[in-house]
Chains A and B, each alone.
Chain A
Amino acid sequence: MLQILTYPDERLERISQPVEHFDDELRNFIVDLEATMRAGPGGVGIAAPQTGRLQRIVIVDVSSKPKIRHHGRLVLINPEIITWEGHVLGREGCMSVPDYTGNVVRAERITLEARDESGALLRHELEGYEARAVQHEIDHLDGLLFLDRLVSRRNDLFRRKHYQKTADA
């Protein structure tokens, strides 16, 4: 199990470097990273810099959430968001910021290019909750926390139509 860095650890604010070698060392690290994600109660995503490894590696698995469209376990290495569409407000928390949650605006649908553990380049179309999780984790690679994107909790910015769309998906 890896240790999760918590704010204000300055490593969380650094920009992570691309992965260059898709080797066994990388794959072993990904096993540890995934175990660390699954050990946190309710955690659906993790980024390598949250454990102090400043490389562009993200794991997301939102399959535990009922009634949403998803792609199961996603290992995303050197991920790049190619397209954004729509925006929706949702509640986020972070293992690196214990005991706080807040509202953050994210793109509703994204197209993503990323490599998997073997180095193969894959393209993913993501939406809703899964797209939110990926955007949150990619922010970690750029040294950003959801705290950097908080909007007021006092104002009701929930978009009813967007939510219904997600629920129907």
Chain B
Amino acid sequence: MTTAPHWFMLTVVGKDRPAIVARITAALYDGGCNLGEASMTRLGGNFTVMLMVQYAGNTAALENTSAPVCESLGLKLHVDKIEGQLHRHPEADVHIRVFGADRAGIVAQVTTVLADAGLDILDLQSDVAGTEDKPIYIMQIEGRALQGVAALESAVQILDGKGIEVQLEPIDLMLG
């Protein structure tokens, strides 16, 4: 079924191996898709990607277009019709680093205090590094300080030093 092009979010996860992005995107291109923004990363050895896909058909038709390549690579596929917009990037004005000995609850504790101080998270990435007996948790956040950077700096002071390091840098965008 062909309709006006619409945005979909395609999520693919599974065991990582080389050339997955090339195989999936070639199949989508051959199927008449246009790609928008995308985020691919490896999480715990798994391949993960979220892809904005513009497609002139319904969800089932896009699933049919993308399922064969995903199955051949042993990957799980999920397709959602979304309201997508390009050319609407809000600018992050703070970069926050968090690291410490890994334990349950770091993300919830940190993000709750920061959210209360007006942080709108635009990007968050975290890793568990170190060794199995001494794991280290490392998180990087970029976002907008909706109540001002000073409010977030106060929040960071509350969080910092209680078994975790929390550091905030303002991002001074230079627009030339």
Contacts and interface: CB of A to CB of B under 8 A. Distances in A.
A45 B174 CA distance: 9
A101 B176 contact: no
Interface stretch (B21-29, B52-60, B89-97): B89-97
Contacts of B174: 44-45, 90-93, 129, 132-133, 136
| Size bracket, chain A contacts | 20 to 34
Interface string B82-114: 000001110110010100000000000000000
B169 A92 contact: no
Nearest to A47: B176
Interface string A54-92: 000000100001000000000000000000000000111
Nearest to B91: A101
B173 interface: yes
Interface string A131-145: 011001100100000
Contacts of B97: 156
Interface in B121-166: 123, 125, 140
Interface string A1-40: 0000000000000000000000000000000000000001
B167 interface: yes
Majority SS of interface residues in chain A?
Answer: mixed
Interface residues of B, number: 18
A163 B171 CA distance: 10
Contact of A46 (B91, B123, B176): B176
Contacts of B91: 93, 101
14 contacts: A44-B176, A91-B171, A91-B174, A92-B175, A92-B176, A95-B175, A99-B89, A100-B89, A129-B174, A133-B176, A136-B174, A154-B125, A156-B95, A156-B140
Given A42-B175, A91-B171, 12 more contacts: A40-B175, A42-B173, A44-B176, A90-B174, A92-B173, A94-B175, A98-B87, A99-B89, A101-B91, A140-B176, A156-B97, A158-B95
Interface of A: 40, 42-47, 60, 65, 90-95, 98-101, 129, 132-133, 136-137, 140, 146, 153-154, 156, 158, 160, 163
